[in-house]
Structure 1
């Protein structure tokens, strides 16, 4: 992906919105409505070229395995491709799908057993950016006003969410993220995502663009 530099001195304090750039907004809207996440994302028409891994994933954190399965089935029934079937792991239960527009979604829970019936409720949505240098990108975002909530050296960083947004921003090594999602790390062209904050337009060190959220 194309590297870029900042173009603004204003500072976002948190991630307020996520806009996916898609070739067919109407088809994407139908998919995300059926999937159950249409209230949390925005869609924008774009013909920007993009190949391979786009360098990010959107993650749904939910209450239990049955809820994971419900969202997983809804995504697949609406046209998503299974990248990793939902399964138990050391950290819980989850799976990975790719939407028809190319966006990769991870649906997961830390619970290994259900304590209640399946729901359609989402606890949080995490935008996980795959970056080349986690420490440097953490410093970049901290310098622009984001508050670091968790940090594990040069491996993973999580920023505090805003009070009015269910979205959370996190950083992970690009190669490690691709491996976790089960996709090749190579990718070129546009990320096909725009992050919204309280700032004017700027672009982070890994080429992810920000704009002022409406």
Structure 2
């Protein structure tokens, strides 16, 4: 755990944790920052968040996308160049939306299989208000673009948090913005426990946090 408040882990609530772990390991490789638990609350439509896997080059984006599709994911946006780099979007069998991205537009070599960063992007009703809330919880703003986008500082081996307008995030992901019920995500951090203005739940984790054999969940 770093001195600043940051995200140690993200727990996805899924129908079958064993099957979901098999998908994640096959598609993206094992990562101690992504946990799983059995879903207990209903959810329909867009769940209000995406997870981004940031890589160094387009070859890695394509490799991740191909592996995810082979493991059962649905392509929402095919991997392609854009103004900001290269990326694509897939939805896994449990409905979690993954953005696979690189700021580079050209390859410098073969795919490495390495994920450089994980970003949790929350779709919120009011970016400015949510940013103030998270600053009050001890997070440090790293980037901010008015009421459109905010990004918080993160340490090594943690998950970066960013905020975006919910409707804009749905458009970015290639899905309708409508959705009800559980977000089906729990955010693990020493800053928790609390629930943010948009209903995203943060749970307390022990300082051992990242890389430990288990994350401690408190309800």
Say if 1:123 and 1:200 are closer, same or farther in 2 by CA, change over 3 A.
closer
Q: How does 1:1-214 map to 2 (within 5 A)?
A: 13-39=5-31, 40-163=33-156, 165-213=157-205, 214=215
Q: Which residue of 2 is the match for residue 7 of structure 1?
A: none
Aligned to 1:145, the other structure's residue is in SS state: coil
Please give the alpha-carbon distance, in whole angstroms, between the structure 2 residues aligned to 1:38 and 1:44. Answer: 16
How far apart are the structure 1 equivalents of 2:155 and 2:54? 17
> Is the contact made by 2:9 and 2:158 (CA closer than 8 Å) also made in structure 1?
no
> Does structure 1 conserve the Cα–Cα contact (< 8 Å) formed by 2:6 and 2:158?
no
Kept in 2: contact 1:126–1:169 (CA 8 A) = yes
Describe the superposition over 1:62-91 as per-residue Cα deviations: whole angstroms up to 9, x where unpaired.
Answer: 011111000000000000000000011111
How many pairs are equivalent? 202
1:37 Cα deviation after fit: 4.2
The structure-2 alpha-carbon separation of the partners of 1:127 and 1:147, relative to structure 1 and needing over 3 Å to count, comes to same
* Conserved? CA contact 2:138–2:191, under 8 Å: no
C-alpha change, 1:37 and 1:191, in structure 2 (3 Å) is farther
For 1:207 and 1:41, locate their aligned partners in 2 and report how far apart those are by CA, in whole Å.
Answer: 20
Q: CA separation in 2, counterparts of 1:67 and 1:201?
A: 35
- Structure 1 unmatched runs, 5+: 1-11
Q: 1:40-83, CA deviations, whole angstroms, 9 ceiling, x for partnerless residues?
A: 30000123100000000000110111110000000000000000
Q: Paired residue for 1:9?
A: none
Q: Distance in 2 between matches of 1:67 and 1:130?
A: 26
Deviations along 1:151-188, one digit per CA (max 9) or x if unpaired, are 0100000000134x231000000010001111000000
| Offset, 1:111 | 0.7
What displacement does 1:38 show? 3.0
Contact 1:16 1:162 in 2 (8 A): no
The gaps in structure 2 that reach 5 residues or longer are 206-214
Counterpart CA distance in 2 for 1:37 and 1:103 is 16
RMSD, aligned CA: 1.1
Asked if 2 retains the 8 angstrom alpha-carbon contact of 1:13 and 1:162, the reply is no
